[in-house]
Amino acid sequence: MPMLACSRRLIGDMAHLTALLLTSVLVFVLSATPTLSIVTGGATARRSSSLNHGPARTYVVLVQPPAHAHHDDEAAHRRWHESFLRPGSRPGAGRTAGGDPPTIRHSYTGVFSGFAAKLTEDELAAVSRKRGFVRAFPERRVPLMTTRTPGFLGLHAKQGVWNATNYGEGVVVGLLDTGIAASHPSFGDEGMPPPPARWKGKCQPPVRCNNKLVGLVSLMGGNDTTDAVGHGTHTAGTAAGYFVDDVSAFGLGRGTAAGIAPGAHLAMYKVCDGEGCFESDILAGMDAAVKDGVDVLSLSLGGPSIPLDKDLIAIGAFGMMSKGVLVVCAGGNSGPTPSTLSNEAPWILTVGAGSVDRSYRATVQLGDGEAFDGESLTQDKRFSSKAYPLYYPQGTSYCDYFDGVNITGKVVVCDTETPLPPLNSIEAVKAAGGAGVVFINEADFGYTIVVEKYYNLPMSQVTATDGAKIMGYARVGSSGAAHTATILFNSSIVHVKPAPIVAAFSSRGPNAASPGVLKPDIMAPGLNILAAWPSMVPIDGKESYSYNVASGTSMATPHVTGVVALVKKAHPDWSPSAVKSAIMTTSSTADNAGNPIMDEEHRTASFYSIGAGHVDAAKAVDPGLVYDLGVGDYSAYICALLGEAAMKTITGNSSLTCAAVGSIPEAQLNYPAILVPLSDKPFKAKRTVTNVGPAKSRYTAHLDVPKWLKVKVEPEALEFTAAMEKKAFTVTVSSRGADADADAGQLAEGSLRWVSEDHVVRSPIIADARVVST
């Protein structure tokens, strides 16, 4: 799998863990040239074979719906799709070099009308000439991107939101992932009612459904729905795993495991393996999920940014949104570099990752008395607290080999310039007789420490800042005095402050596909998350565990998916955009110490890192006001951003025109965040809110903005007299002259809060000089 991985490694070994990437990864990039061209050196075809005018590869083909078929008539739709591939309808009698005509791999009728098939250039050209053809995309392969987090998000048994929503009972959470360990205790159904009568999903034999796991199918061909990676089991357990008492990972983090919506039902659509996910399978999963009747769909996967009309995940998510299903997606693991997001469409709920208030504490204590708190999942209680000789490699700090060096019984300091300790360094230290190891974090990762259970040597991972002090001590001074250290293992501790902090790997805005729309939308726990794990997948190469700790925006996404399930239970008639708005406007920008959320360098985090803020599950079900959007609004937005052809492609409606739907510039889209150009010329952004709180209520505008930013809200108060009543307002933003521009630089951030007796409805305000005025 071709990739650009900089100097970082995967979060775990792909063969053993999750294929989550901690850095910039370019996998099978879709060409920006016309869609009928063949991408060379980019996307890799599935099972290519030799043919006239190039090898066959898999394409996703969008076509108009059949003229006279009912939308529920699957057979009629499939016949229509097959008509594009009938022999004799294209040059060469429609047969491959091996004599077989192309066949449909997937037929799509739920999210849009189309199919996936393996085609050569000649065959694709012939298909494109047929009546009803819309567009073809060469498919990409995209990468995959607990006991504590419910409490951290304000969820508590028999009270609050869990009590009010009965833990999400009756809501069906769908996931597109690597499969699931169906027999895992987190997916037991004791005391759970059956799924709602409208549910049409099923479990693929030999697995039998229960009242928790109500759907399980592979879209990758064959009947294997097992999770040989661990990723799908972990995300499913995080979103809606049932209560399991007295669980831990390797003896750490002991407590009761539960997902965010433990009363909800689960449906798993297997579309990925350890090497990633093909887009044709992802779309087949979306198509099946919307027809089965899921209430929310979770995708812990995604590729690099591409235009929205070329992004098949965005196109499929639009189809689901139009049918009332919110799609929640990982924002990507390519941080802290700016503009590295995945899944940037405004109709998707895009999730960034942060820390939780738990630490797997492993303290490095030096011989001079200084101590530095690190973390480790390899906590050997038999490791003596005595002082060990401390060794720091001279000339190199990579710990790859120790020829001619005696490190027996010593604690070795390794500076690997990677976010995770390389296995070869661990093995080298162990083979040479080292007693333990201190790994120094990559500088770019700041205070983010990603832990894994792949190592069977006592160790601690520390930040680059602390590591520099440890290295300074470890170097033998001119006196030649011996320096010592030990590692004190303190198991897991909770209520750590500050938390949350943005995880270094979490991808950042600005939004490359649509710079005038804030992404990510929200931040959630994604660093060192403990959740369900298939025992058939060894974690350290030999031992089996039922729970594991993993990191990534893949882990953050199901947290938000679970919150969506709770909101849908409380408000089943709300649109996807209303649910998204509720989650964004009730989020928090403060950590558990009461200070602004910080990034991995302990600087105040930008909205381009945290979105609207950190998700607050306890408040999301009662937002007071929502910013609503529908298919027509998004269609007009696409017209303004990309034009009519793109609008027809994304909406799947070839008869729709921009003249009919209008044009809505990015800044005027009724989004819960306000992103405008930074200029000394006033810029007006219009918004409309819907009252979903008390019928009679009054909200007043409160602004929290830097002194160099001038912001005016008109009107300054909103009076509501009925439920679902709508009120419009305008936000005018400008900088305060040349001196203010120098202070603000290219970016200024603040917030608008609509405050009533019962609610605070907060929207970020971002003024960015890089945003073009429209």
- Can you name the residues that pair with 412 across neighbouring β-strands? 391, 437
Measure the CA–CA gap between 130 and 136, rounded to whole angstroms.
Answer: 12
Tell how far CA 94 is from the center of its chain.
41
Q: Are 349 and 320 in contact (CB under 8 A)?
A: no
- In order of 60, 365, 417, 498, the CA distances from 446 in angstroms are 41, 20, 12, 14
Q: Cβ(160)–Cβ(618) under 8 Å?
A: yes
Closest CA to 515 of 305, 337, 749, 771: 771
Give the angle subtended at the CA of 85 by the CAs of 84 and 91, to the nearest 5°.
Answer: 105
Mutual orientation of helices 631-642 and 312-322 as an angle, nearest 10°? 150
Q: Nearest CA to 330 among 669, 770, 25?
A: 25
CA-nearest of 695, 771, 689 to 733 is: 771
DSSP letters for 207-272? ----SSEEEEEESSSSS----SSSHHHHHHHHHHPPPEEEEEETTEEEEEE--SSTTSEEEEEE-E
Name beta bridge partners: 436: 411
N-term to C-term CA, the chain: 40
CA 29 from centroid of its chain's CA atoms:
19
Q: Catalytic residue numbers? A: 177, 231, 554
The alpha carbon of 262 is separated from its chain's Cα centroid by a whole number of angstroms, namely 20
Q: Among positive and negative, which fits the CA dihedral 162, 163, 167, 169?
A: negative
Is the CB of residue 492 less than 8 Å from the CB of residue 376?
no
The rounded Cα 263 to chain-centroid distance in angstroms is 23
491: left (phi over 0), alpha (psi -120 to 50) or beta: left
DSSP helix/strand/coil, 657: coil
Distance CA(295)–CA(31), nearest Å, equals 33
- φ/ψ of 119, rounded to 5, equals -135, 150
Judge contact between 547 and 247, C-beta under 8 A.
yes
| Cα–Cα nearest to 503, from 522, 531, 528 | 528
Sign of torsion, CA 375 380 381 385?
A: negative
Residue 707 CB: number of other CB atoms within 10 A?
A: 10
Q: Strand 272-273 relative to strand 276-278: parallel, antiparallel, unpaired? A: antiparallel
- CA-only gyration radius of the chain, Å: 27
The amino acid at residue 335 is G
Q: How far, in Å, are 64, 73, 399 from residue 131 at the CA level?
A: 9, 20, 64
Distance CA 335, CA 347 (A): 23
Q: How many CB atoms sit inside 10 A of residue 694's CB?
A: 14
CB 511 within 8 A of CB 490: no
Helix, strand, coil abundance in the chain, percent, nearest 5: 20, 25, 50
Q: For the packed helices 553-570 and 576-585, what is the interaxial angle rounded to 10 degrees? A: 110
